[in-house]
Amino acid sequence: MTIFTHLYKEDRAGGVLLGLLLAAGLLVPVLNLGLGEAHPLHLSTYTVTLLGKYLCYALLAMAVDMAWGYLGILTLGHGAFFALGGYAMGMYLMRQIGSRGVYGHPLLPDFMVFLNWKELPWFWHGFDGFIFALLMVMAVPGLLAFLFGWFAFRSRVTGVYLSIMTQALTYALMLAFFRNDLGFGGNNGLTDFKEILGFSLQADGTRAGLFAASAAALALGYLACRFITRSRLGKLCTAIRDQEDRARFIGYRVEAAKLWVFVFSAVLAGIAGALYVPQVGIINPTEFAPLASIEAVVWVAVGGRATLYGAVLGALIINYAKSYLTAAFPDAWLFGLGALFVLVTLFLPQGVAGLLQMVPFRKKGGTP
Amino acid sequence: MTTLERFRNFWPRDRVFDFLVPQTPPDLDLTHGVILYLEGITVSFGGFKAIDDLNLYIEDGELRCIIGPNGAGKSTLMDIITGKTRPDAGSAWFGQQINLLKMTEPEIARAGIGRKFQKPTVFENHTVQDNLELAMAGPKAVWPTLTARLNAAQRERIESVLETVGLQAQIHRRAGALSHGQKQWLEIGMLLMQNPKLLLVDEPVAGMTQQESERTAELLVSLAGPRSVVVVEHDMEFVRSIARKVTVLHQGRVLAEGSMDDVQHDPRVVEVYLGGEPCSTLKN
Ligand SMILES: Nc1ncnc2c1ncn2[C@@H]1O[C@H](COP(=O)(O)OP(=O)(O)O)[C@@H](O)[C@H]1O
Ligand SMILES: [Mg+2]
């Protein structure tokens, strides 16, 4: 508990966020599993899964905030890292199906049998192990971000050009993943998962567990981001964002700092994707769609840049609105999102977090 | 000697990965009393020669003023010394040992050359203290930067620099909230945090009030000695108040060099710098 009181003093919003996440991580499973369906406070498994999905989006938003809010890299391709993490988890889940697939092949996933493949491609090996899959969830997005950043930052591409490159990255991956012969299930992607770590994915308990895991991941992710942003490296990031040349001429290798923080951000996005896939039950190439990455940027813009908790708020608010609006006005939803983005950039440049900071508190606090 | 020992000698354990070994540039060697050698430097931008076969020597501890009309190549000269622009020809040495043309901007900065930009350039969203902390000499790779914590000696260092540039009262203010002059001083303070041996100061008093200019002149004069200071300036009054030696740059070449009195009576200087007018403005 002391960590919360300490946090609350130092960083009010962060303390509140972590407190809420802890409460949700404990309470939501209890309300779902502990109370009978007739109970007025009962949460349906559908709701639990939906909330878990939001938390994954929130983690993705936080990753985008690290790159955009703190480093100043307007990334329009973070969906790619999210999707790669998701695919790595999806491959593990596919391997767990074993011989229970439609074709009953002991080793090959259904789509490979369908394509008449005789053996498992080399890059599918090892994914039957959970630990290996977890490593890949972080390593694959991290490596891609490293390679991308290595070339882009060294050649000092910045601004719009860099944004376009990130967009091209995710678009190219989408096209590649749509192809059957790439070995990731083509446009159907990976689906029909059965179990994770031996727990059935249809079971309420597993769903509740995945929700709790998402809440924990978001909390830990927040603490990690907070550690970085409050360190001297974090100060350097915003310094680079605001005056890249000055940072270089006081002796920092700007591209190295950008590279490692960008890689960290990509790994975070990968973890978010890995938690997302078992909850929604499918991963397919549409997760690489440019629009998905742009949406994530909108969440951060609406929530407020460079605050971390703003990104979380933005992701939750917009996705809740999206769930509601797509049901109520399926055609108008995208216009609603666009209008919201325009309104926020015009009237709330600091996002919802900026609005919150204007609320006077009794005690002068340390909210950034 | 056992095989293991031989192997260890062949490949010392602490040097297996070259990139783990801190890259320290050769020490600054000032045995000849000259801190900066620029010889035969030429830079052209698409055919236009911004710097043309320029030779310049700065002595250790000297305070040098570089004057010259707009577009003479003064800022470009600083870009070359600090690694931002690579010359097409020529050589640039920092002391006897350090070849500036082979180094990146951050390497040059860490070797001991600090640069103030023409436009005041500070980290506006950070406090004055954070600006100085970021600039402080020390390990600047990613990992040490992540784990760095200010210790007491470093806080004292920050305070003493703040005192030097006269910003003690502003320590916790956001740099963006400072006045124009204060930002210029903060930037000079950031350079001082790096313990530079050579300070390059591009147009420090542009946009300053008379009083602020006088303070800046005092500051720059006080900084020379333990380190060399090169000041680029337009303001003749200001140059006169600080300079012992002046270099006049024109069309990328050194036109004249000497004391303020010498250069202002040099007919070539009068010709190009004042467009042939009598040198009353220079004399005043
Ligand atoms: N990056 C560049 N590209 C093209 N021309 C440049 C560049 N930098 C400087 N110049 C030109 O070089 C000349 C010298 O510029 P500069 O060094 O800024 O002059 P000043 O002495 O006023 O500081 C000017 O004519 C300028 O237009
Ligand atoms: Mg200039």
Q: Are B233 and B67 in contact (CB under 8 A)?
A: yes
pLDDT of residue B276: 47
Chain B residues with CB under 8 Å of a chain A CB are: 82, 84, 104-106, 109-110, 114-115, 117, 121-126, 130, 133-135, 137, 140-142, 145-148, 190-191, 193-194
Which residue stretches of chain B have pLDDT < 50? 276-284
Task: Please judge whether B126 and A252 are an interchain contact, meaning their C-beta atoms are less than 8 angstroms apart.
Answer: no
> Tokens 């599918």 — which residue?
A124
Task: Please judge whether B124 and A242 are an interchain contact, meaning their C-beta atoms are less than 8 angstroms apart.
Answer: yes
Measured CA to CA, the distance from residue B51 to residue B45 in angstroms comes to 9
On the question of pLDDT at A7 being above 80, the answer is: no
Q: What is the pLDDT of residues A27-46, one digit of tens each?
A: 999 999 988 888 888 999 99
In this prediction, residue A366 has a pLDDT band, given cuts at 50, 70 and 90, of very low
Q: Are B194 and B112 in contact (CB under 8 A)?
A: yes
pLDDT of residue A338: 84
Q: What is the pLDDT of residues A250-276, one digit of tens each?
A: 999 999 999 999 999 999 999 999 999
CB-count burial class (<10 Å; 0-12, 13-18, 19+) for A366: middle
pLDDT of residue A3: 65
Whole-model pTM: value is 0.91
Q: Are A332 and A325 in contact (CB under 8 A)?
A: yes
Amino acid letter, A214 = S
Instruction: Measure B110 CA to nearest chain A CA, in Å.
Output: 5
On the question of pLDDT at A109 being above 90, the answer is: yes
pLDDT of residue A361: 56
Ligand 1: residue whose CA is nearest its atom 11: B50
Nearest atom in ligand 1 to the alpha carbon of residue B76 is: 17
pLDDT of residue B278: 42
On the question of pLDDT at A357 being above 90, the answer is: no
pLDDT of residue A328: 85
Q: What is the pLDDT of residues A338-352, one digit of tens each?
A: 888 888 888 888 898
pLDDT of residue B243: 75
pLDDT of residue A254: 96
How much is the average pLDDT of A1-11?
Answer: 69
In this prediction, residue A363 has a pLDDT band, given cuts at 50, 70 and 90, of very low
pLDDT of residue A1: 56
B75 lines ligand 1 (CB under 6 A): yes
Mutate to test the interface with A, among B145, B147, B149, B184 (most CBs of A within 10 A): B145
Q: What is the pLDDT of residues B106-164, one digit of tens each?
A: 999 999 999 999 898 999 999 999 999 999 999 999 999 999 999 999 999 999 999 99
More reliable by pLDDT, A306 or B29: A306
Q: What is the pLDDT of residues A198-214, one digit of tens each?
A: 999 999 999 999 999 99
On the question of pLDDT at A298 being above 60, the answer is: yes
On the question of pLDDT at A170 being above 70, the answer is: yes
Ligand 1: residue whose CA is nearest its atom 5: B45
pLDDT of residue A330: 84
Q: Please give the share of chain A, as a percent, with pLDDT higher than 70.
A: 95
pLDDT of residue A63: 98
Give the bridge partners for B245, in sequence order: B64
C-beta atoms surrounding A103 within 10 Å: 12
Alpha helices in A66-158 (DSSP H): 78-97, 110-114, 130-154
pLDDT of residue A181: 92
On the question of pLDDT at A6 being above 90, the answer is: no
What end-to-end distance do the CA atoms of chain A give, in Å? 22
- The Å distance, Cα B70 to ligand 2 centre, comes to 7
C-beta atoms surrounding A30 within 10 Å: 12
Task: Please judge whether B140 and A251 are an interchain contact, meaning their C-beta atoms are less than 8 angstroms apart.
Answer: yes
How much is the average pLDDT of A97-126?
Answer: 93
Q: Are A132 and A126 in contact (CB under 8 A)?
A: yes
pLDDT of residue A362: 46
